Chain A
Amino acid sequence: MTNSISLPSKFNQFLLAFKGVPAISIAILVTFVFFGLFGSFFLPYDPTEMDLMSAEKPPFWMTEGSTAHILGADEMGRDVLARLIGGASVSLQVSLVVILLAGSVGITIALLSGFIGGKVDAVLMMVTDIFMSMPYLLIAMVLAAVLGPSKNNIILILALLGWAGYARILRSEVLRLKDQDFVKLAEVAGCSKFRIMTREILPNIVNTLIIMATLQVGTVIIAESSISFLGLGVPPPEPAWGSMVADGRDFLTSSWWICLWPGLAILFTVLSCNLLGDWLRLRLDPKFRQIQ
């Protein structure tokens, strides 16, 4: 009698890797990224072009609506769909650059703080704690008011206020890894501190970094749109989802569609990021993989 354990075939293994993939979330995010990158080729209208003749035109299924403005037009006759696509590009730029900046600062601080330890750790963690205890929306608004509303300033501000979370969580990962045998072996083998940090520890915390980054996309989009909503973010006439909602605020009773669409766009994008982040955490964290 032969005991054979049959492994799933290569093809089935490939399929298994995608088990439970949040397909709808990924589809929404792919759409978001696609229109964020190439939206300017698909614009039905110039998003900043005003046309007072079609001001407050409702979406096409309503009696006064027409297919010329599928999702309607805003109070200045600008096409809502075109502005949504333009807003996707703003949100994509802001969230990607913020995460890149905040993530790289956070990971550098986490490595230095966790691996070197001692006084360096104490000082860096004190700074991190100070940043984490600040009411970030308030600070972001103050900074935006001082620096002046612009897309680049918003990116800088959100990155400045966003790195602390990475530093905090990744540092604990570094601390956990620091005492493991492979790091000790590298030390014995005479690797420099820099090499251990970048070649031994960094690859092992990339998973956590990816999960955090995915989950942070949503936070950044909401923060950016909140600041734009209050009029301190991306300045008009450039379309941003937050300022589109603010524009429609005074026309809520007569033209609800000006507010509705950008809000739904934010909701679905953020929701998809969160779902994808949760799924990645289940996939990438070995602790959870066992339970699955």
Chain B
Amino acid sequence: MTEKRLMRGNDAVAEATVRAGCRFVAGYPLTPATEILEYLAWRLPEVGGTCVQAESEIAAINMVYGAAAGGAWAMTPTSGLGLSLMQEGLSQLCAVELPAVIVDMARMGPGLGTLSPSQADYNLATRGAGHGDSRMIVLAPASAQEAADLTVAAFGLAARYRNPVLVLGDALIAQVMEPVQFPPLAEPPAPPPWSLPGWLGKVPNAIGEYRQDLASVEESVRKLQRKYAAIAAAEARAVALYCEDAEVVVVAYGTAGRTAMETVRAARESGLRAGLFRPVTLWPFPTAALRDATREARAVLVAEMNLGQMVDDVRLALAGRIVVHSLPRAVGAFPPEEIGAALLPLLEASVPA
């Protein structure tokens, strides 16, 4: 690790991209993610890399697709509107098994929405990548440092599984200034054997071959399904705090998870048995870890900066075993007292009479 530098989340993601060994980025300006592109536009040429300002997010994700087919680690930064436009490209990346990293610094939606921090892209991010039976790994940082760390991790996961990986932040993580440490600068990896142009006589020397017979089409989607199952078994990550004896567990990710940590700490200082469960991977959802973290709990409170999306995954994971309450927030980040106000009655209700 190198020395700590004071940076905003966007710049931390951009520098982490370079440190990880990525040398190709294509992106379209979109608030609140624009500084990632601005940073990489000057930073990548310093290390012999390429940053293309694309004509749209559609072009950007397809440039990433081409670079990935050429064997490069490739990345594109965006926000929710851009992620919507990229869905077809994400589906194609999944279908032909190419690695790529996408960063979404989410803002409020739907439609044009506003620039407020938001977690309203949860469903878009976690319910597959575009059309078809496709999946992408989704990593949710709660600080500038974690945004940098997860960006580096995203490239490794993308390469290992040959699959797109999404780093899902929000406008607050994008703009917050914090001390950040980076790993040393990594060299870009050599193009893998499957990349193009490859060499003459290599069979098949193609990516995305057209399949007509149904048995081979079915086998290709079943192969993807086996890969997704392996990812789900191996890569789920979460942070649990004070959950061992918690009567009420707050489930929150990213910025909301960070706010909830303050609330839970304050509750503990008052002698109340609250816990925090913060998913770090949103897909795969850390189901087993959540079940483990709620063994002693009588209630779960899901705090998220949207109108209630992750709460569905929490309910699926807990399968009716525990009462799950939803604490939605339509615009911007939670003030800690708002989570406290919802948590306190649950803690009091969980005290045996």
- Mutual binders A and B: no
Chain A residues with a Cβ under 8 A of chain B:
none
